[in-house]
Amino acid sequence: MNLIINGEQRAVSGLQTLPELLEALALPADALLIEHNGLALLRDEWTARPLAEGDRIEFLRITAGG
């Protein structure tokens, strides 16, 4: 399956949901903001969120420095 992750095309295989993608990318969930096809997800919407060919995913780690 081809996904566009942070603006770059990535081929991934053997996964169907967002949590599986996080695991495959070794991205810790701490302070992570996720936008799926232009929609910022609330935390409880991550679980079992299905992914499809061509989906756009944007990740951002929230920081606290000032």
Residues that bind another protein (CB under 8 A): 28, 30-31, 33, 35, 38-40, 42-43, 58, 60-66
Least distance in angstroms from the C-beta of 37 to another protein: 11
Strands 32-36 and 56-61: antiparallel
Least distance in angstroms from the C-beta of 3 to another protein: 16
The residue (of 34 and 51) whose beta carbon lies closer to another protein is: 34
8 A C-beta contact, residue 20 and residue 29: no
Integer Cα distance of 39 and 50 in angstroms:
14
Least distance in angstroms from the C-beta of 38 to another protein: 7
Q: At 19, phi and psi to the nearest 5? A: -60, -35
